Structure 1
Amino acid sequence: MCKDMMPHHAGSSPQSSQSPYSFVVEPPAADNGVVQVRLSGSSPFVGVMIEGRTALDGDSVGQFINVPDNFQTLKCNDIPNSAVTHSENSPKDKIQVSWEAPDSFDEDIYFVATVVMNYTTYWTKFASEPTRVTKRTVGSIQDLGNTINKNLYEGCGTRKNCLGSPVGCETKKDCVALIAVRRSGKDYEFEMMALKSKYIAAGFSLDDKMGGDAVVECAYENHREGFEGVNAYRSWNVPNQKANQRQDSNSGVTLREGTYNDGNTYCKVLVSPLTAVGDVTFDLEHNPYYLLLAAGKSTAEGKVGYHDVARESSLASKLLTDYSPIVVHDSFYDGCNVDKSCFGYPDKCVEDQSCQAAASVLVQGTTYNFKLKSKQGAYIALGLSEDDKMGGDSVMECVQERNAVKLYLSWNKPGEKANTREKVNQGGIKLLNSSYSDGVIYCEFTRDASTQLMGVNFDLIREKYFLLLAAGSKLKEKGVGYHDIFFTVSGQKRSLSDVALLTSQSKLFVRLHGSFMVAAWIGTASIGIIFARYFKQTWVESSLCAKDLWFAWHRFFMLITWCLTIVACVLIFIDVGGWVSSTPSLIHAIFGLCTTVLCFIQPIGAAFRPHPTARNRPLFNWMHWLVGNAAHICAVLALFFATPVAKAELPPWLDWILFAYVILYVAVHILLTIAGCISDSKGAERVNTFPLKDLNTSRSALNSVERRMDAPFSGFRKLLLFIHIVGVTAVTAAIIVIICLAPIEAQLSTLQKKIMSV
């Protein structure tokens, strides 16, 4: 697509007539490496693709910046943002973008375009007049000079507010312009930089539009005689005029540092919390504001020029002390739940445009337009299902292959938890637009209202469906791999033409399953095993229900373990609806099933235990010990293998908490074993360290005179027991919280925003 620039519309061919669209490139010659490109014509268009080339049939070069909301960039010739295209197919009158040359560039550049007026009418590869563009080698912010803070990006989203251009550059640390704000004593410190610019400005606004805003400017000036350098000013975006007016007084704004180096501007400014502009007072400490960013190549005496380098605004208003990452507008979400249905992951992410992945469905007559977007992974897929389970579903896949996005139809095999493209007719879908840039997969396509897959008719007009949304990091030959990034199901079965907010299916049974298994095997089983193994010669003068304390507590904790395990197993089988076949779910399920089976038979075997004096009692002791410990080991392994299961939504660092539990558990065993050995060596009452030994044939506390005294080191054993109970309880509680609030990172981010907004 990048080379031939063909839309590949079936049954159509390019127009041979003169294109009604033309380019305007300004300036006619540029020595700073940036030109403004405008394409318009006598008729509206629905699709467009533009590249910058040094030859009409050459490869794309340079990058497009300052792309409007209803357009997006593509990666061509292995260069990010080297082409620009539409992001939706509504009629457009024009497109105006900026194009930036690569470093050390000094050549003529042609802008080549394909414009689609409608599905069958389009013009391909018509070009602008050549424009001479020169650009000296300009590095990143580190090249601005020794006075510039090279760690400007550090702390963004945690210790300071950052807004950069282009969108997402704060993470990649490649911003053309950046504003970083943090508290500094009673004031706010604004650290700002813009490449190839003579000014950068930060605005505080009650909305995300220009007008009625307080502005702090850092501008390079050489207009006044005897002065050349960067200065800081207060200004005002005049309401309803799209104009900026500098204030007479700069009170409340103090320039601490300013640098203009090789065409790049940097400054550090202190701003007072209370800023008055005319009769309007901006209270930065108590009131939330939208943050605006602007940067441009020109200044004049007493004012700054047009923001032709960068222009961004935050998606929502927030306090400057709210250091959560600033979310900028994403046109993907335009019209969600108003004109089209949107479904995203994690749940309820569509409202604040924070989805890791999302899907939208726009129905126009009998045309079904789908959009899929994922911030990571090798693929994103959307399935249509008659029920809320995987199996017998029609799946639409957007797959990243060799830096391009391909569209496929596939089929979830009934009863197998597996996906295939074999024998699946690829007709009925049509890719309209796609991109893969910086790990983000995006695709837009249409699907016929009625399609046949594997003998099943999917009628989007008459039938209702659940939506299955998934993403994974691996591909298979002629297929996609396991959805190891996420998998979610809509909680509602709806017609795709019904525009409504779609939320994820309840995961109550999954959460209960995980919580019960953790409570059973990290919590109660760990305590019950310790009682049976090391405390038969402790509290010997006490009893509970005519039973030794160690036995009563052991039986109590293991009974809870048994009940929780059986209930957890039933819950997950109800939720999943059968067995699983994909790794890592399969490994987790195998260890979990082994745990459940061993746990189930353990009390049955205990009910038939021989008399303590019977000849086969040692065999029973060995088997009881072996089955119990095998169940415990399988349970812990199942918990480790639950982390990569997409449906669990657990963070990878949960493994470190499990490792901490294992270390605690093993350490307590070692210390209690050493204490038992020392006790035995003193010739006192032997501590029944191992469950295979049975020194006393009765569980009655008063059966033997020898049992009237605890074995030596009972105080030490009790202390270790206390530490063990506190430790495993803390670990159990922490893991259960992580399970119940999964995905925990998203929940913590939401909680932080709520706290900061109070």
Structure 2
Amino acid sequence: MGSDSVIDCVMTGGVVSVQHSYNSEGYQNQLILPRLGLGNGAGSFEDGIFTCAFSRQTVVPSQDKVYDLNSAWHVLFAHGRAQSGLKLPHGSNDVLASRRPIDFGATKPTKSTTLPTTTPTTTTELWTTIAHKTTIIPVAASSKPITVDPAQCGKTQGCYHPCVTDTHCDFAVSWTSHKDGIDFRLKATLSGVGDKWVAIGFSDDEEMGGDYVLECVSKDGDIRVFQSYNYGKRNRRLPDPHLGIRDSSASIIDGVFECNFTRDKVVNGDEKIFDLEKDWHLLYAYGNAVEGKKQPHSYTNLPKASAQAIDLQSYEDISGVSSRILLKVHGCLMVFAWVCAASIGIIAARYYKPLWPHQRACGQMIWFQIHRFCMILAFVACISGFVIIFVEIKGYSEIVGSNFHKAHPILGIIVTALAVLNPIMALFRPHPGTSKRSVFNWAHWIVGTGSHMLGILTIFSGVGLNKVHVPGYVTYILIGYVVYQVLIAFILEIHQYVANKKEFSSSSTANKRHGQYLYEMQGKPYGSTRPPAIPLDIEPPFSNMKKAMLGTHVLIILAFAMIVGLIIAIS
């Protein structure tokens, strides 16, 4: 033992990987570009028998520690234990050596032989199963920009990229079509340390969900190509993640992650491996990897989608990405309508009628003007958002997802109908003091409160849709909003109860004032020319506290609406 070229089969977590190492003169073993020249690796451990099979290039250029198999060599066999993917030293009796050098070229099988393999499953995925070459050069302090060649893109190859100019690209995907396959090249500028992944998805629309994915994933610096599928927002590797993939190679040079491979145009045996002779929207995404598996991409690096379906048989230069501007405007308007404007308007009408009794704004009581102004804003925002989404999706659209999310369009239509109905009811409201006024008040309250609650529920269903790409934590922000809304209503109910109790105990006419002017909107009862029974400049107890609570409520509601709206806008 000493100065030996070694090929290791190492099992980690039930997965066998094949790699190169070298025994120095001092009996020290170290990895050397682990999988350079290796391919078709597979292995298993069943009934105490460890099986490992692989192929190796006869000559591996520019690597003198990977020996030329055209020469004859003594073969050494050793085994031992491994921990976390690293070999532990073997025992003194765990090494066997051939008595004479073996000429590998002299082995001429008389019949075809098949290397033993194992079939990958959804829970066990082989890392080394295809011929592959990885080149690793340490990341420089600043990554080089990705460039696209205008002489090639759209002429000799197809390209998809977001480049503003030829030298300002975060990523670039190129492809070349030939008779039975398509050669892909993925390039991305990645920052940070640790293993990474880049991937392209193939979708029949611009949103994530039901997509076929080709992914390049690094593990301990080595990069492999796999296939997976997006089940909604969750991605899972296919049972045979290398089916139809060949001729892969990859490199990381100065922070630029490059991955090249060929995929057969049509692959039989798995319906989730899409037919590349059809047109697809391309999705691009990247993120961190752990132990050879993709970790979810961050919400600041959401997938980019091509604005049009791409014919991979032609050489198009696709330089734009789908912005979803109208979708974002729709979301922001609905958040403003129901999280912000409706919340303030309903609180003002429910709890602030007795306040500012001697003050008017444009001839109307303060609470009524606040209520009307906020509800007009909510109405305008809701109608605008409703029209915009129909323009964006070009009509009514069925949604793929859970039943709750599928209900989003229906809920939106109902909410918009209620938003239109309530102001129409207000136009025909009976005069204060008439017999039908109480019927209107109850109907107005039920429609208004119902539309507000249903509007918030519709927003919950909307932020969970795949197409909007909104981070999952927005749901928790909305839950916080609902909790706060219930809390402020509870506090105001307690405040009103305490104030009424104090007022009723100190004034025999308080009950009359509350009953007579509960829905007064013009400073005096309709048709009355007599002065009010109680001076209107007398406010209920603790009114200053209640005014301060309204100001605080407005600020908190604005904060909720701005945070959710900003997340929708930048996602």
Structure 2 counterpart of 1:34: 30
Distance 1:364 1:701, change over 3 A: same
Residue identity opposite 2:30 in structure 1: V
**1:471-520 deviation line (CA, Å, top 9, x unaligned):** 9xxxxxxxxxxx99977531356665446463311211011011111111
Matches within 5 A, 1:152-301: none
Tell me if structure 1 keeps the 8 A contact 2:353–2:518: no
Report the Cα distance in structure 2 between the residues aligned to 1:689 and 1:341, rounded to whole angstroms: 78
The structure that is strand-richer by fraction is 1
Residue 293 of structure 2 is matched in structure 1 by: none
Asked whether the equivalents of residues 39 and 94 of structure 1 are also in contact (C-alpha less than 8 Å), the reply is no
* Aligned-residue offset at 1:380: 6.5
Distance 1:446 1:688 in 2: 84
User: Of 138, 148, 165, which aligns to 1:313?
Assistant: 138
Question: So what's the TM-score if we normalise by structure 2?
Answer: 0.59
| Pairing partner for 1:49 from 31, 34, 39 | 39
Q: Distance in 2 between matches of 1:665 and 1:688?
A: 31
- Structure scoring higher RCO (CA < 8 A, sep ≥ 6) equals 2
SS of 1:603's equivalent? Answer: helix
Q: Is 1:491 aligned to residue 307 of structure 2?
A: yes
**Alignment-derived partner of residue 281 in structure 2:** 467
- Cα displacement (A) at 1:59: 3.1
User: 1:535 is matched with which residue: 331, 352, 359?
Assistant: 352
Instruction: Decide whether aligned partners of structure 1 residues 312 and 371 sit closer, same or farther in structure 2, where only a CA change above 3 A counts.
Output: closer
Q: Which residue of 2 aligns with 1:718?
A: 547
- Equivalent position of 1:732 in the other structure: 561
In the alignment, residue 521 of structure 2 is paired with which amino acid? R
For residues 605-638 of structure 1, the C-alpha deviation after alignment (integer angstroms, 9 at most, x for no partner) is: 2222223333333222222111111111122222
Q: 1:611 to 1:39 in 2, by over 3 A?
A: closer
- 1:676 matched to 2:496: yes
Partners of 2:50 and 2:484 in 1: how far apart?
A: 64
**2:246 aligned counterpart, secondary structure:** strand
C-alpha distance in structure 1 between counterparts of 2:41 and 2:179, whole Å:
33
Q: Does 1:552 align with 2:497?
A: no
**Contact 2:265–2:277, Cα closer than 8 Å, also in 1:** no
Check the 8 A contact 2:208/2:466 in 1, yes or no.
no
SS of 1:432's equivalent in the other structure is strand
Q: 2: CA distance between counterparts of 1:723 and 1:39?
A: 63
SS in 2 for 1:708: coil
Offset of residue 526 of structure 1: 0.8
Match for residue 300 of structure 1? none
- Cα distance in 2, alignment partners of residues 659 and 24 from structure 1: 53
Q: Hey, which of these two has a bigger chunk of helix by percent?
A: 2
User: For residues 727 and 52 of structure 1, do their structure 2 counterparts lie closer, same or farther at Cα, with a shift above 3 Å needed?
Assistant: closer
Call closer, same or farther: CA 1:29–1:442 in 2, change over 3 Å: same
Between Structure 1 and Structure 2, how many residues are aligned? 429
Shift in alpha-carbon separation, 1:730–1:446, aligned structure 2, 3 A: same
Q: Which residue of 2 aligns with 1:597?
A: 417
CA distance in 2, matches of 1:368, 1:567: 45
Q: Per the alignment, do residues 564 and 97 of structure 1 end up closer, same or farther by CA in structure 2, a change over 3 Å counting?
A: farther
Q: Secondary structure at the match of 1:675?
A: helix
- TM-score, with structure 1 as normaliser: 0.46
Distance 1:112 1:576 in 2: 61
Q: Which runs of 5+ in 1 are unaligned?
A: 4-22, 41-46, 62-82, 87-91, 100-110, 114-126, 144-309, 319-326, 411-416, 418-428, 436-440, 472-482, 743-758
**2:207–2:467 CA contact under 8 A, matched in 1:** no
Secondary structure in structure 1 of the residue aligned to 2:389:
helix
| Corresponding residue for residue 92 of structure 2 | none
Q: 1:715 to 1:527 in 2, by over 3 A?
A: same
**Contact map agreement 2:22 2:29 (CA 8 A) in 1:** no
The answer to whether the 8 Å contact 1:531/1:553 transfers is: yes
Q: For residue 397 of structure 2, what is the aligned residue in structure 1?
A: 579
CA shift at 1:527, angstroms?
Answer: 0.7
On the 8 A contact 1:484/1:645 being kept in 2, the answer is no
Identity of aligned residues (%): 23
Matches of 1:48 and 1:129, distance apart in 2 = 20
Change (3 A) 1:31 1:617: farther
In 2, are the aligned partners of 1:523 and 1:732 still within 8 Å (CA)? yes
Alpha-carbon distance between aligned partners in 2 of 1:334 and 1:133, rounded to the nearest angstrom: 48
Unaligned runs of 5+ in 2: 1-8, 10-18, 89-134, 189-194, 217-223, 233-242, 250-258, 286-296, 526-531
**Which residue of structure 1 aligns with residue 264 of structure 2?**
446
Given the superposition, is the C-alpha separation of residues 37 and 725 from structure 1 closer, same or farther in structure 2, using an over 3 Å criterion?
A: closer
Among residues 168, 173, 183, which one is paired with 1:369 in the alignment?
A: 183
User: Which deviates more, 588-597 or 569-578?
Assistant: 588-597
* Letter aligned with residue 559 of structure 1: I
Query: 1:29 touches 1:133 (CA, 8 Å); kept in 2?
Result: no
Distance across 1 between alignment mates of 2:332 and 2:326: 10
**Aligned partner of residue 582 in structure 1, secondary structure:** coil
Q: How far apart, CA to CA, are the structure 2 residues paired with 1:443 and 1:689? A: 81
- What CA distance in whole angstroms lies between the structure 2 residues aligned with 1:132 and 1:384? 52
Contact map agreement 1:405 1:434 (CA 8 A) in 2: no
Deviates more, 1:650-659 or 1:537-546: 650-659
